[in-house]
Chain A
Amino acid sequence: MTPALALTDVEFAWPGRGGFSLSCPLFRVAPGESVLLLGASGSGKSTLLSLVCGIAAADSGRVQVGATDLGTLSAGARDRFRAEHIGVIFQQFNLLPYARVSDNILLPLRFAPARRKRAGDALAEAGRLCAALNLPEGVLNQPAGRLSVGQQQRVAVARALIGQPPLIVADEPTSALDAKTQDSFLGLLFDQAAAAGSALLMVSHDARLGARFDRVVELSDIVSTQRAAA
C-alpha cells in the first residue's frame, strides 16, 4: 500500500551561507495513521515540515506524498499539490483575521479544484465541520479575528480537513491552548481526521500528547541536522 508520506534518503540545505542542513534517511506515515514527532525547537522540524509541504525541495532523495514525488514537481506545481493534498494547521495565528470564518475554511479550495469537487457543497461541508468541532452556530459569518484562540484553532482544523486531504500536517497546534482545551481539541482533531480518513502528522515538543497517537517518533531518531559553520 502506498504510504501517505514517505521520505527516502532526503538531503537538504537552506540556500545561503551559514545554512541549516538536514538529512532524513527514512520516514514513513501510513494512510490514516497518526504520528507524533517529538522535537525541541531547532531540531529541524520546521525544515522537515517545509519539505513535506513542498515549500522547499529536497536537494537529493525523495519526498513522496501519496504516490507523488514532490521533487519531480515545479515550485508552482508543489504549491498546487499542497493545496490539493495537505491540510496545514499552525501553532497559532492560523486565520486571516479580517476574513469571515467561512472564507478562511474555504480558502484552500480556491487553489485546489479537485479538492473543491470532493468537498461537494463546500459551504455546507464547512458548516458540518464547524458543528462537529463544537463551534457555535452562526460562526461561519463571523470575522475570524473575533474568535477565541481555542475557537480559531478549531476553525483551522476545519480548514485543514475540508475536502478530506490525505495528509494533515500540524505544527504544535495545541501550544497556545491550556491543558483542558488541549485535550478536547486533540479529541476533536482525532475524531475528524479519522472520519476524513486523513493521516495526521503532528510536531510537538510535548511528549504528554503521545498517548492518543498510533506512533510517537523522536525527531532526532529519523533526522540528523547540521548547521554549517558561518
Chain B
Amino acid sequence: MILRLAIGSLLARALTVGMTVLAIALSVALFLGVEKVRTGARASFADTISGTDLIVGARSGSVQLLLYSVFRIGNATNNVSWESYQDIAQRDEIDWIVPISLGDSHRQFRVMGTTQAFFEHYKYRGGRALEVAEGQGLNDLYDAVIGADVAATLGYAVGDPIVVSHGLASFTDHDDQPFRVAGIVAKTGTPVDRTVIVSLEAITAIHVDWQSGAKQSGATTPVEVIRGMDLTPDAITAALIGTKSRLQIFGLQRWINEYREEPLLAILPGVALQELWQIVGVAETALIGVSAMVVVTALLGLVAMIFSSLNERRREMAIWRAMGARPAVILGLLVLEAMLMAAAGALLGVALLYGGLAVLRPLIDAGFGIWLPIDWPSTREALVLAIVIGAAALASLLPALRAYRLSLADGMMVRI
C-alpha cells in the first residue's frame, strides 16, 4: 500500500516528476550510449582483422600503418617498392603475403588494388573468410569487386560499370578505363564493406598515362595496348603477411624493420591495436567522465526537486504522522520516491538507448563502420543502473533527513 501511495504521490506531481525522470533517463541513455559506442568500436576494430601475423608498410607509426592499411583511415606517407616486397615475399618464414595498393577512390569509397590472395587470406571476426555473395572474384583486368555498403549505397549490381577517380575526393576520373562490377562481397561489418577491390595490375593500368600524380597531356594509351603491357607495379602501399609458424613472427618482424634498402615497418596488428586503445583511452576516459557528470547532474536535479517539494508537502507529512507513521516512515517514503523516480529514469534511459540504437545503428555503421550490437543489457550495464538507483537513494537522504526533522518538529500540526 505504501508503494501504491508513493506512486500515487508521484503521479499527482506528474509534470515535475516527469521532467526529473526525463533528465535522469537522458543522462543514463548518454552514459550507457557512450559505453556502448566504446565497446562497440573496440569490438568492431578488433573484429576487423584476424589471422594476419604482420602488416608491412613504409616506415611511419605503427598505429598509422594499421589505420590506413586495414581501416582505410588516413593515408600512407610513403610506398613500399616492389623490389622490397619481392625480397620479403621470398623469405622462408612467409606462408602467404598479400600486397595492397591504396590511393584512389570511387565516390566516397576507397579503391584497393590487391591480388586474388586477399580473398583467401584476409580473415575477420575470428577467422571468417570473405564471401563473394554475388558474381565472381577478380578475373579480368578491369573487374572490380565491391563491398556490401558500396553496392547498397550506390545501388550497384553485378555488371554495372564504375569509374575510379584519381586520389581521394578528387575531380579527376580515370574515365578512359572504366571498370565493371564483377562481384559483391557479403556484408562483413569491416572496412571491406566500404571498399572497391580491383587487381594490383589494374591500379598500374589506370596510371599508365600519369606521372607524379598528374595526368600527362597528349594522347591516352588505348586499352588494347595497356592490356599488352607489363603491369607489374613499381610500388605498393602495404602488405599483409601470414607466417608459417607463429614462432617466426618476431624474427621476421625484426628482419623487416632492419631491412637496409628501404625504411620499412612491420607491425603485429594486435599490438598496434593495443597502442591505438592507449591513445584513444584518454578520450574514452574523458567521455565517460563527462557522461558520468551528466548523470550526477540529473541526480542533483532530483534532490533539488525533492527539496523544493518538501514545504508544500508538510501537510501531507502531518497526515502520515497523525495516522501513526513514525518519522522514519516519512524518511523511507521520500527515499522510496527518489528510488522510484531513478528506476523509472533508468528504465526509460535504457528504452531511449535501445530505441536510439535501432534508429541510428545503420547510420553509425554507414558513417563510421561501427556495427553496434543490440543485446540484452550486460551485467555491467545492469550494474550501472543499480548504481544510479542506489546513488539516487543515497542522495535523497539529504532532503529525506530534512523531512524527518520537519515532521518531528511539526508533528500533526503544521504551522505555516
Contacts and interface: CB of A to CB of B under 8 A. Distances in A.
A190 interface: no
A48 B184 CA distance: 90
B412 A50 contact: yes
Contacts of B322: 53, 82, 88, 90
Interface stretch (A58-66, A98-106, A209-217, A218-226): A98-106
Contact of A103 (B4, B325, B327): B4
Contact of B413 (A46, A82, A110, A112): A46
A161 B11 CA distance: 29
Contact of A112 (B2, B9, B315, B324): B324
Contact of A83 (B1, B323, B411): B323
Given A53-B322, A108-B324, A110-B1, A96 B9 contact: yes
A134 B5 CA distance: 26
B321 interface: yes
A96 to B, nearest CB: 6
A79 B412 contact: no
A156 to B, nearest CB: 9
B9 A98 contact: yes
Contacts of A106: 1
B35 interface: no
A49 B414 CA distance: 13
A83 B412 CA distance: 13
B326 interface: yes
Contacts of B412: 49-50, 53, 55, 88, 90
Contacts of B2: 110
* Secondary structure type dominating chain B contacts: helix
B12 interface: yes
B8 interface: yes
A170 to B, nearest CB: 11
A34 interface: no
A88 B411 contact: no
B397 interface: no
A46 B319 CA distance: 15
B381 interface: no
Contact of B323 (A76, A93, A111, A171): A111
A111 B322 CA distance: 11
B316 interface: yes
Given A93-B315, A96-B9, A79 B1 contact: no
A94 interface: yes
A111 B325 contact: yes
Number of contact residues on B: which range applies? 20 to 34
Interface string B3-21: 0110011011000000000
A84 B1 CA distance: 18
Interface in A38-72: 46, 49-50, 53, 55-56
A56 to B, nearest CB: 7
A171 B8 CA distance: 27
B12 to A, nearest CB: 3
A50 to B, nearest CB: 5
Nearest to B12: A98
A96 B324 contact: no
A98 B10 CA distance: 9
Interface in B1-59: 1-2, 4-5, 8-9, 11-12
Interface centre among A56, A84, A106, A111, by most B CB within 10 Å? A111
A97 interface: yes
Contacts of B4: 99, 103
Contacts of B327: 79
Contacts of B324: 79-80, 82-84, 108, 111-112
B411 A55 contact: yes
B320 to A, nearest CB: 8
A140 B127 CA distance: 67
Given A95-B319, A108-B323, A50 B411 contact: yes
Contact of A96 (B5, B326, B411, B413): B5
A215 to B, nearest CB: 24
Contacts of B318: 90
**Complex A-B, nearest 10 residue pairs according to Cβ-Cβ distance, in ascending order:** A83-B324, A98-B12, A55-B411, A111-B324, A88-B322, A98-B8, A108-B323, A79-B326, A46-B413, A107-B323
Interface of A: 46, 49-50, 53, 55-56, 75-76, 79-80, 82-84, 88, 90, 93-100, 103, 106-108, 110-112, 143, 145, 159, 171
28 contacts: A46-B415, A49-B412, A50-B412, A50-B413, A53-B322, A53-B411, A55-B411, A55-B412, A55-B413, A79-B325, A80-B326, A83-B325, A84-B324, A88-B322, A96-B9, A96-B316, A98-B11, A99-B5, A99-B9, A103-B5, A106-B1, A107-B1, A107-B5, A108-B323, A110-B323, A112-B324, A145-B12, A159-B323
